Homo-oligomer: A and B are copies of this chain.
Amino acid sequence: MPSNGGPKVSVFGASGYAGALAAALLQRHPHFQLSAITSRSDVGRRLDDLYPRHRVPLAMEELDLDRHGDVDAAIVAYPHHAAAPVVAGLRERGVRVIDLSADFRLRDVPTYEQWYGEHAAPQLVEHAAYGLPELGYRERIQVADVVANPGCFPTAALLGLAPLARAGLIDDVVIDAKTGVSGAGRAATEKTHYVTVDENVAAYGIAGHRHTPEIEQELAVLGAEVMVTFVPHLLPLDQGELISAYVKPTREISDADVRELYADRYAHEPFVELTDRSPGVRDVRETNIARITTQVDARSGRILVFAAIDNLWKGTSSQAVQNLNLMFGYDESEGIS
């Protein structure tokens, strides 16, 4: 364990894929000190036994806010509903929090409750910053006490669509997403069984996926008040996420102009790559990078946008570290590049 005197950070819910990766990234971070890791299901088990690859030589503890509240910051990797009370408890103890759940992403509590049910800490919602720095939230994240880390699909979709949304170009959009199995979490179910996934692909959540209102909320902030059609598909791969977005533009625009728009918008973003080749999720595996290509369909005039991320990295845990870096004044890419 480092004793470098930097901020102390704990990870609550470290036995899931996201929490475990967050712990691993903090463990080898040049500034933060990984203080404690907790788990609801694997108390006492060492993280390097559960995930040998991460090589975090710490045992998971049972969460005790009084004991574990003595840190500078925490990453909460609990499911929605379970996260909110923990975040609230940490806030009472003055701990700055990055919450990986959906609990503080939607700024409109009724919308949250429509998709997720009753909110356990609605009073905190207005204090949360949306943790997607590239969308213009850097200043808010720097001073935030609670950062709502975005969902993995919204991260890819919003990075892919933000330049169009800001330019008022989105009349209508369909988002077809493809994700690896780690996006479904560590729970062993029929859905995540190897034999179910292997040599297969299918859509899921076709009657409505909970990431839809999150995407719509942020597109609206950027200037695009649209109703999004969003359908995710489960693919036989472990990590990685690709969104293919089909945008009907509000006005005719050339392929070159769209590319220039993206080049301008992302000129200074260290974690956005623009490419002429259709991006593959393999290109961004285990990176904090979103790789994006646009193409105007010459026949229909539709704008096609492809954005690839690693759902566990930029889609979740390395983005959390990026946000932590911002909150504590470090270079945004420390420990994740």
Contact-size category for A: 35 or more
Chain B nearest Cβ from A35, distance in angstroms: 22
Question: In the complex, which of the residues B238, B279, B280 contacts A194, with contact meaning CB atoms closer than 8 Å?
Answer: B238
Q: A190-204: contact bitstring with B at CB < 8 Å (1 yes, 0 no)?
A: 101111111111111
Q: Which of A69-77, A99-107, A281-289 forms contacts with chain B? A: A281-289
CB neighbours (8 Å) of A196 from chain B are 194, 282
Asked if residues B244 and A233 are in contact (CB atoms below 8 Å), the reply is: yes
Chain B nearest Cβ from A183, distance in angstroms: 10
A302 within 8 A of B: yes
Asked if residues B239 and A199 are in contact (CB atoms below 8 Å), the reply is: yes
Question: In the complex, which of the residues B178, B200, B212 contacts A282, with contact meaning CB atoms closer than 8 Å?
Answer: B200
Docked Cα-Cα span, A251 to B223, in Å, equals 28
Asked if residues B176 and A195 are in contact (CB atoms below 8 Å), the reply is: no
Asked if residues B181 and A195 are in contact (CB atoms below 8 Å), the reply is: yes
Question: In the complex, which of the residues B203, B242, B282, B298 contacts A233, with contact meaning CB atoms closer than 8 Å?
Answer: B242
Q: A237-B236, A297-B229 are in contact. Are A306 and B190 (CB under 8 A)?
A: no
Chain B nearest Cβ from A45, distance in angstroms: 12
Q: What number of copies of this chain does the assembly contain?
A: 4
CB neighbours (8 Å) of A96 from chain B are none
Asked if residues A281 and B202 are in contact (CB atoms below 8 Å), the reply is: yes
Asked if residues A227 and B300 are in contact (CB atoms below 8 Å), the reply is: yes
Chain B nearest Cβ from A274, distance in angstroms: 12
Chain B nearest Cβ from A148, distance in angstroms: 23
Nearest chain-B residue to A228 (Cβ)? Answer: B300
CB neighbours (8 Å) of A233 from chain B are 178, 242, 244
Asked if residues A195 and B195 are in contact (CB atoms below 8 Å), the reply is: no
Chain B nearest Cβ from A180, distance in angstroms: 8
Q: A178-B178, A206-B304 are in contact. Are A282 and B199 (CB under 8 A)?
A: yes
Question: In the complex, which of the residues B242, B246, B278, B283 contacts A53, with contact meaning CB atoms closer than 8 Å?
Answer: B283
Q: A258-301: contact bitstring with B at CB < 8 Å (1 yes, 0 no)?
A: 00000000000000010100111111111100010101011110
A182 within 8 A of B: yes
Given pairs A202-B281, A235-B236, 18 additional interface contacts (CB within 8 A): A52-B275, A193-B193, A194-B238, A199-B199, A200-B280, A201-B235, A201-B237, A201-B281, A202-B278, A203-B242, A203-B244, A203-B304, A206-B295, A208-B298, A229-B300, A229-B304, A231-B246, A231-B304
- The 24 listed contacts between A and B (C-beta, < 8 Å) are A17-B195, A53-B283, A53-B284, A53-B285, A174-B174, A186-B193, A188-B193, A192-B193, A192-B194, A194-B197, A195-B238, A199-B285, A201-B235, A201-B240, A201-B242, A202-B308, A203-B278, A204-B278, A206-B306, A208-B299, A229-B246, A235-B236, A236-B236, A236-B237
Closest A-B pairs by Cβ, 8 of them: A202-B280, A52-B283, A200-B282, A176-B176, A188-B188, A181-B194, A203-B278, A174-B246
